[in-house]
Structure 1
C-alpha cells in the first residue's frame, strides 16, 4: 500500500500500471482513522484552506433547495406550506403517478386523515425539506408534523388539501426532473452547457437493459439535433449497471465483454456527433468492473486519442485518490484526455449496510461527512496539479462551501475547471462564481425520466448529496458496531478482482481432496461397516469422499462414552467452555477455504452461498459464547424475607443434535455449540446427505479443546439408528432441524419410550415464508428481493421465499419482470463463480420438485420454468420456476427448492389474504414491502408469523443482527441466534441461603 502523500510527489511517475492498479484494492476497506490521518497530513502538506474558511456572504445566500411556490400559498401558513412540501417529498418515492394519486385519494379523507398523519409524522419529519426548513430557521425543532396537519384539517376541507398536495408533488418533481421524455430535450434553453442524465438504475431483466441502451441512443440523436444551440460540447451520462442485469464481479469476464460491446455501439454514434460520454458512479462492489470496462474502451481504436470518454469518481471512496492516480497514468500512457467528474458519493447507506452484513474490517467509504469533504478537496487539488495534464476536472456538488473552495483552488491553477449542478440546487452560487471567473464553466445537469424512475435518484440526491448535517454513525450505532465486530466472522473478500482470484485459487487447491466421515466416538473414528462412496450432487461421477455408516452398536457405545463424559464437561467452568468455543470459531476461519470447498462439493452450493454458510457458523459460535456469559452465569434473584437467592444453570445430560443437509455447517455447528456451552455432552447426528462436513467440523471441535468424551458423531442413514438413538434411557434432550414429517416421526418415537421423564425437544421445521407487496412498493425492489429470497441457496433454505402476494393492479407487470429476472439466472456447476443456482441435494428432492412443477403445468398454473440442457444431466438440477396460485390453501406442504408461487390479490381484500395465510398454521417469516405505515401496522397486527421483516430482503437475516424465529408448524420456539435459545439446553437450580446480614445471627 503506497501512502497517499506519494501521489503528490515525483514518485508516482516511477510507478508502473500494475503497481498503480494494485494500490487501488489495497485501500478498499482501509482503517478510517488511518485514512483521516493521511488526509490531514496531505492538507497541511498542500497548504489547503481549512474547511468552511471560504464561505462568503454571497455564497451563503445561494439556496441549496429553495422553497416551492405552492398553489394557494396565500391561504396557508408557513408551517403548513413546509408540512405539505415535506409530505410531497415523501410521496415522490412512490412508484408512479397513479400510485401517488391513489394514495392521496385513499389516505386523505375524513376517516383516514388523522390516523395517517399521526402514523407517518416521524417519516415526514425525516425528509430533506423538513430538515432544511429547520436549518434555515423557518420552523422550530420541537414542532410535530401531525399537529400542523391537524390544524390544516380544521381550517380546510380534505378536497382542498388533496388538490394542494397533488399540485405540490407536481411542482417538486418539476424542480428535479427537466422532462419525462427525451424529445423534450429540444426545450433546453439556448447557450446552455449541459450534461444529460437519464434516470436509469441497475436493471433486473435483459429487456430492461435493451430498452436502456435504446434510450441512450435516442438521447444522443436528440442531443445532436439540439447541439448547434449549445454553448459547449454537450455530454451524456451512462450508467453501466443499466446495460446488463448481471453487473457483478462474479460474472466477469463475460459481463465486462458484454458491457464493453454495448458501450462501443453508443460511442460510435457519440463520437460521430461530437458528444462526450461520462460513465456514472456505481456502488463500491462494482468499481473494479467499471474501471475495467473504462480501460477496455479507452484502449480501443475508437476512443484512444479522442478525449470524449469520461468517468465519475466518488470522493467518499477510500480508493478515490488511488483511482485518480491510475487514471492519470492511463491518460498519459495513451496520450488521451480523460474528463473526470468528481462527486462526493451517492450510496452511503447502502455501503454501510453491505459492509456490516459482510463483516468487513472497515467501510469502503468514509462514514463522516467532514472526512468526505476533506477527501473531495484533496482529490480536487490532485486533479488541478500540473502532473495531471490530461485529466480534465469536472466538479459536481451542490454544497456552497465545497464549490467556493474549488473555485479558490482553481484560481491557483492554470487549468480551466467545470462546475456541474442541477437546476434548483445552488444555481445562484454558480452563476455568481461564473461571472466572477471566466475560467469557470458552468454545466447544468439535465435530468430526464418518469416518476417511476425517480425514487432511487431522489434518495441519493437528497440524503447523500444535500445532507443538512454531517452524516456519521451515532453513538449507539458505533456501540452496536463494536458489539457486532466481536461476533462477526471475518469478511471473505470478493468485491475486487484480486480478492476474488486469491480466494478462488485457495479454494481450488482442494479440488482433488477426498474427505472422510465415520462414527467419531471418544475422539476416534469407528470403521465397523464397509465404506460408501460419496459423490457431488452436481456431478454424480465426481467422488468427494467416503462414509463409514453408523450402526446400533455405535449408538450404544456413543451413549456410554458421552454419559461418562457429561459429568466432567458439566463441571468445566463456563468461562473455559466459552474460551474453547471461541477458539473453535477461530479454527473455522483458519480452515475457511477448505470448508468452503467442501461445502460446494458436498451440498452443491455456489461460492457466495458457501461463504455465507461458513460465516454464519462462525458467528453462531461467537454469538452463543457471548450469550452464555451473560445468560448462563449465576443470576441474583430478588431477595425474599432476608434470604439470598441465586439462579444457576446446568447441563441436562446427553443432547442429541439432529442437523439438516440444507445448512450442515451452520445449523449443525450451532446446535452442537449451544448444547456444549450449556454443559451438556452431545451426540451429533448429521443428515445422511452431508456427513463429510459434519465430520470435519467435529474434528475441529476436538482440536479446539472440547473433551473427547463430551461429543460423539454418528453419520449415516437415520433408518438404521434412529430407534436406538431416540429410545435410549440416557437421552436427556433433542435439538432437531428438518422437515415436519421427520419431526413427527421423532415425536412418535419419543412417545414410545419406557422412561417416565419427558425429554425436551427443540425443533426448527418447515415453513411457507411469505412476502406481501402493495402498490406503493417499487417494482424493481420487489423483483430484486423476491429473486434473492426465493432462489439463493437454490431455494433450499428454511427462510427461502415460497409465496409472493402481488396487488392485482401491478401483478401483470411484475410477473413479466420476475420472468425476465429469472432468465438471467445461471443454473449449473457451483464450482464456477458465476453460477447462481446449484443442484438440489438428491434424487428424492429432484423427483418431488419435478412432480410439483408437472402438476402445475397440467393445471395451467406454470408461469415460467427456466431451461436446462444436457450439461445438467450429470447432477440433480431443477430450473428456477414461477407458478401461479389462486390461494395459499393449494399448498399442502413446503416445496423445498427453486420454486416461487405468485398469488394476486385485490388491495381492498388485504384482511382476507391475511386470514388465509394464518390458516396455514406455519409461523416462520413474513416480509412486507410497502411505503404505507398504516398498511404495515395492519399486517403486523393481524398476522401470526414468528419473524417480520419490513422493506428489506428477508433472506439476508444474519445471526447477530436480524434473527429468525419459529412457532406453529415451523417449530417449537426460540430459533438459532435468538437470546433465549441457549436456555432450552439447560436445567435450572435456585439456591436460597441466609443473606450476609444474618450470617452471625444466634
Structure 2
C-alpha cells in the first residue's frame, strides 16, 4: 500500500487484499481480532476506504472482530468519526475503534509546511485533548455501532471516558482502556482495581524496530507538554492537570483576540500599519506568548486579494511582491485532485493529433517536414505534429528576436515581471492540463508531471524577484562630487536549447530567466517533447510577451540547434542535455564569426553519475526509500538520479536484502495509470541503449535483480525497460562510469568510510550526491570532502526545489551558476558602470542624489 498509496486507491485495495485475505480468514477461523493501524495523514482516507471495503466484503461482513485506529490530533477526527459511525450502522455488525491522540505530530506539521499544504493536525496540545474528548463522546453515544478502546495515558482523558460511560448508563466494562507495557504502571493498576477492562500492548517483532517504537513513545511521554511528565515528574497540581481542555482553548482564544485588538489600537510600527499577532504553541494551562511582527498596509491588502501568494519564507515583501514560496505540489490523497487529473486526461486526449506551426515573430510558419510526437507508453498514440525547423527558419527566428530586442529591453523591469508572473498565473490555472500533457508526451508518472509544472511556476516567481533586485542601479562608494552607478543590462538574443526530461520546467526556467532580464528568446525544445513547448510559447504570448520576444522553433539538433549556436546574432546560449553535446556547443560558441561583436555567454548543465554512500550506522528504512526514489523515480531519467550506491561492508548484506525486496514492489506501467512508479523511457533509441548497458552489467557485475516489465505493459508497445541492480561492480566498470539515464543501479562495497568517499569522488561528473548516516563526524566530513554541486544528507538526491536547493554541478557536469539560485539571472545580463562628475565650479549638487 505504501508503494501505491492514495493516488491509486483501487489498485492499492486489490494489491493489499491479495496478502490480507488469508490473514483475515485465519483470524476469523481462530476468533482473533484484526486491528487496522493508522500511520501518516496522507494514508488516512485510503486506510479508511480499505477498512470499509473489508467490512463490506461478503466474507467478512458479519465478522465482529474488526477494528481501526482513529487519531484525535487530526483536524478531521470528528468528521472521520461521524462517517465511521454512519458506515458501521449500515454494516449492521459493530466495529472496534482504538482512539489515540496521534504519534507523528512533528512529521505531519513539518511535512505539511515544507509542501505548502494546510497543517492537518491540531497545533496545540489542549486542542488535541479537546478533540479526543469530543470524539470519545461521539463513539459512546453510538455504542451500538462502535466499541471504543481508549488508548491514552492521560488521566483526564481516561476519567472523561469513564464518567461519560457511567452517565450514559452503558454496561460495565463497555470501554476498553489500553496502556503501553512498561509505562504508567500505577495507572494500569488503578484501572484494574476499579474493575475496568484493561489491555496492555507492546511491540512484537525485530528488536531494532521495536526499540525505535518504544523510544518514540518514551519521547512523547516525556515531552514538555506530556501529561505523564507534568503529573509524575514535575508534580503539577491535579487541578491544573485535570482542567477541561475546551475551557483552556476558550481562554487562549480570548487572549489572542484581546492582543489583536490592542495591537490594532496601537500606533503604526516603523514598517507602517498595525502589527500582526501570532501565538506560539501554548502550555498546558493555555498561557501563550504573543509574537508581534509589523505588516505594511499594502501587504495586508495584497494578502486579502491573493492569499495563496503569501507564506513560506523570505525577508519580507520585495518591490511590492510577496515573499517567495514554492508552489505546492498537488496532494493526490484528495479525491477531488484525482478527479481533476482524470478530467485533464480526457481534455488532452481530445486534442491529440493536432498540428502546431513554428512561431517566428508574429508569423505562424508551416513547413514541409514535420515532427510526430509519440506517447512513450503507447507509441502509436500521436500527441501532435509540429512543424520542423530548418537552418533558414533558425535564421529568421534569430532575426525576429533581434528586431524585438530594443523594445523588450526598454520595457521596465517591473512590467516584464508583471508579464512573466501572468504566465505563472496561467500555469496555475491550467496545471492539471499541463501535467496530463506531460504525462502523455513525456511519459512522466502523475507526481513527476505535477512537479514539472510546479517547478516551472517556481522558476518564474524566483527569477522575477531576482530581476527586480538587479533592475535597480547600485550606487557605489557614495562620495560627494561624483555619482557611480553599477547596473545590470540585458545581453541580447538568447537561444534556449532544452531537454526532454523536464520539458516544461527546464524550458521555462532558462527562458524565463532570459526574458525577465530583458532578453528575447528563441525556444528550441527537444524533438521528443515539442507540444508542451508550444503550450509554453502560447502561455508567454497570452501573458503579454511581445511576439518577437518569444519564438518557437521545434526541430532536430543539426537542423535547428546548430544554426542557433553558430549565429553571430545570438548573445546567450542556455543548454541542458548530454555532456557530448554541451562540450560541442562550448567549442562552437567560442568561435567569433563574421559580423559578431560579442563573446557568447554559454550556460550548460550536462548530466551526472551520482553516488549515495550508505554508512554502517544508517537508518536502513530511510536509506532504502531514498535510494528507490533517487534511482528509479521516472525510470532514472534525471541528471540528478542515483546510479552508484556505495555501501560500507558491515551493513552491506542487510542493505542489499532490503533494497532488492523493496525494488520488487515498484510498479512498471504506462504513465497515465496513477499506480505507475516506473514509466517507460523516452524513445526506442534510449530503450535499446539501456538494454545494452544491462547486458554489459551482466559481465561487469553480479545481477541481483533484473525485473522485467509486465506483459500488459509490453503489449502497449511502449519503450519499457527492466529495473536492474548489479552488485560488486568495480569502480572502473563502464556501468559505474558512464551516464546511462535509465533504471540501472551499480552497487559497490567499501571497506571503510575513506574508501567510500574515494569511490564517490572518482567520477568526471560532480552533480549530485548523498549520504545516509547517523554519525555527526562522518556527515561533517562528507560535507567537506564529497565534492558535488548538490549534496544531500539523509534524504533522496533528486527533487531539488527552486529557492531551496539551487541546482547545478561541478566538474564536467556543467558551467555557470546553479538554476533556481540567487545568482542564476546574472548570467543573462552584463554589467555597466556609469560615472558622473557632479562638481560644478566648486559646488557639488549630488548630496541628495543616489
d(CA) in 2 for partners of 1:723, 1:303: 67
Alignment partner of 2:152 out of 389, 397, 419: 397
CA offset digits 1:454-483 (Å, max 9, x no partner): 365246424556532499599899997355
d(CA) in 2 for partners of 1:906, 1:620: 42
| Contact 1:795 1:897 (8 Å CA) reproduced | yes
What's 2:745 paired with? 900
| Contact 1:791 1:837 (8 Å CA) reproduced | yes
d(CA) in 2 for partners of 1:488, 1:1000: 42
Q: CA deviation at 1:564?
A: 1.8
What's 1:634 paired with? 473
d(CA) in 2 for partners of 1:410, 1:453: 36
CA offset digits 1:293-318 (Å, max 9, x no partner): 21122224554444321110011222
Alignment partner of 1:810 out of 636, 651, 654: 651
d(CA) in 1 for partners of 2:484, 2:38: 62
| Contact 2:590 2:599 (8 Å CA) reproduced | no
Alignment partner of 1:585 out of 398, 411, 424: 424
CA offset digits 1:246-272 (Å, max 9, x no partner): 351234323313433543433333344
Q: Secondary structure at the match of 1:834?
A: coil
d(CA) in 2 for partners of 1:684, 1:254: 40
| Contact 1:508 1:597 (8 Å CA) reproduced | no
Which is bigger in relative contact order (C-alpha 8 A, separation at least 6)? 1
Q: Secondary structure at the match of 2:528?
A: coil
Matched, 1:289 2:46: yes
Alignment partner of 2:333 out of 483, 495, 500: 495
Q: Counterparts of 1:832-981 in structure 2 under 5 Å?
A: 832-868=673-709, 871-872=713-714, 874-890=717-733, 891-907=736-752, 910-981=753-824
What's 1:383 paired with? 139
Q: CA deviation at 1:1000?
A: 7.5
d(CA) in 1 for partners of 2:561, 2:84: 64
What's 1:825 paired with? 666
CA offset digits 1:859-890 (Å, max 9, x no partner): 45333211135542612221111123544332
What's 1:999 paired with? 845
d(CA) in 1 for partners of 2:355, 2:158: 65
- Residues 835 and 777 of structure 1: CA distance in aligned 2, closer, same or farther (over 3 Å): same
What's 1:229 paired with? none
d(CA) in 1 for partners of 2:650, 2:535: 52
- Residues 994 and 441 of structure 1: CA distance in aligned 2, closer, same or farther (over 3 Å): farther
What's 2:123 paired with? 367
What's 1:124 paired with? none
| Contact 2:555 2:561 (8 Å CA) reproduced | no
d(CA) in 1 for partners of 2:182, 2:651: 33
d(CA) in 1 for partners of 2:829, 2:189: 72
| Contact 2:480 2:846 (8 Å CA) reproduced | no
- Residues 701 and 482 of structure 1: CA distance in aligned 2, closer, same or farther (over 3 Å): same
Q: CA deviation at 1:739?
A: 0.9
What's 1:134 paired with? none
d(CA) in 2 for partners of 1:841, 1:934: 42
Alignment partner of 2:570 out of 724, 731, 737: 731
Alignment partner of 2:346 out of 508, 526, 533: 508
| Contact 2:486 2:834 (8 Å CA) reproduced | yes
- Residues 1000 and 951 of structure 1: CA distance in aligned 2, closer, same or farther (over 3 Å): closer
d(CA) in 1 for partners of 2:778, 2:166: 55
CA offset digits 1:592-634 (Å, max 9, x no partner): 2321222122111122211111111112212222333334433
Q: Secondary structure at the match of 2:811?
A: coil
Q: Counterparts of 1:586-625 in structure 2 under 5 Å?
A: 586-625=425-464
CA offset digits 1:737-765 (Å, max 9, x no partner): 11110111101211333246321111111
What's 2:302 paired with? none
- Residues 994 and 739 of structure 1: CA distance in aligned 2, closer, same or farther (over 3 Å): same
Q: CA deviation at 1:327?
A: 1.4
d(CA) in 1 for partners of 2:685, 2:19: 44
What's 1:712 paired with? 551
What's 1:343 paired with? 100
Q: Secondary structure at the match of 2:766?
A: coil
Q: CA deviation at 1:525?
A: 2.1
- Residues 676 and 449 of structure 1: CA distance in aligned 2, closer, same or farther (over 3 Å): same
What's 1:125 paired with? none
Q: CA deviation at 1:695?
A: 1.0
Root mean square deviation, CA, Å:
2.8
Q: CA deviation at 1:968?
A: 1.3
Runs of at least 4 residues off by over 6 Å:
473-480, 994-997
Q: CA deviation at 1:640?
A: 4.1
d(CA) in 2 for partners of 1:640, 1:782: 57
Matched, 1:318 2:75: yes
d(CA) in 2 for partners of 1:476, 1:809: 52
Count of residue pairs brought into register by the alignment = 752
Q: CA deviation at 1:565?
A: 1.0
Q: CA deviation at 1:377?
A: 2.2
d(CA) in 1 for partners of 2:481, 2:176: 79
What's 2:271 paired with? none
Q: CA deviation at 1:788?
A: 0.9
- Residues 260 and 857 of structure 1: CA distance in aligned 2, closer, same or farther (over 3 Å): closer
Higher mean alpha-carbon deviation, 259-268 vs 932-941, is at 259-268
| Contact 1:736 1:764 (8 Å CA) reproduced | yes
| Contact 1:516 1:695 (8 Å CA) reproduced | no
Q: Which runs of 5+ in 2 are unaligned?
A: 227-279, 283-288, 296-309, 315-321
What's 2:635 paired with? 794
| Contact 1:518 1:550 (8 Å CA) reproduced | no
| Contact 2:493 2:521 (8 Å CA) reproduced | yes
Q: Secondary structure at the match of 1:836?
A: coil
Q: Counterparts of 1:288-687 in structure 2 under 5 Å?
A: 288-301=45-58, 303-360=60-117, 362-385=118-141, 387-415=142-170, 416-432=174-190, 435=193, 437-438=194-195, 440-454=196-210, 457-458=213-214, 460-463=216-219, 467-469=223-225, 481=312, 486-514=324-352, 515-640=354-479, 643-687=482-526
- Between Structure 1 and Structure 2, the one with more helix by share is 1
Q: Which runs of 5+ in 1 are unaligned?
A: 1-240
Q: Counterparts of 1:135-284 in structure 2 under 5 Å?
A: 246-284=3-41
What's 1:46 paired with? none
| Contact 2:640 2:767 (8 Å CA) reproduced | yes
| Contact 1:856 1:883 (8 Å CA) reproduced | yes
d(CA) in 1 for partners of 2:355, 2:106: 45
Q: CA deviation at 1:892?
A: 3.7
Q: CA deviation at 1:705?
A: 0.7
d(CA) in 2 for partners of 1:760, 1:644: 29
CA offset digits 1:948-968 (Å, max 9, x no partner): 111112223222333333221
- Residues 349 and 768 of structure 1: CA distance in aligned 2, closer, same or farther (over 3 Å): farther
CA offset digits 1:341-379 (Å, max 9, x no partner): 11111223333344345443x123233333222222221
Q: Secondary structure at the match of 1:510?
A: helix
TM-score normalised over the length of structure 1 = 0.71
Q: CA deviation at 1:400?
A: 4.3
CA offset digits 1:212-248 (Å, max 9, x no partner): xxxxxxxxxxxxxxxxxxxxxxxxxxxxx5xxx6351
d(CA) in 2 for partners of 1:650, 1:455: 60
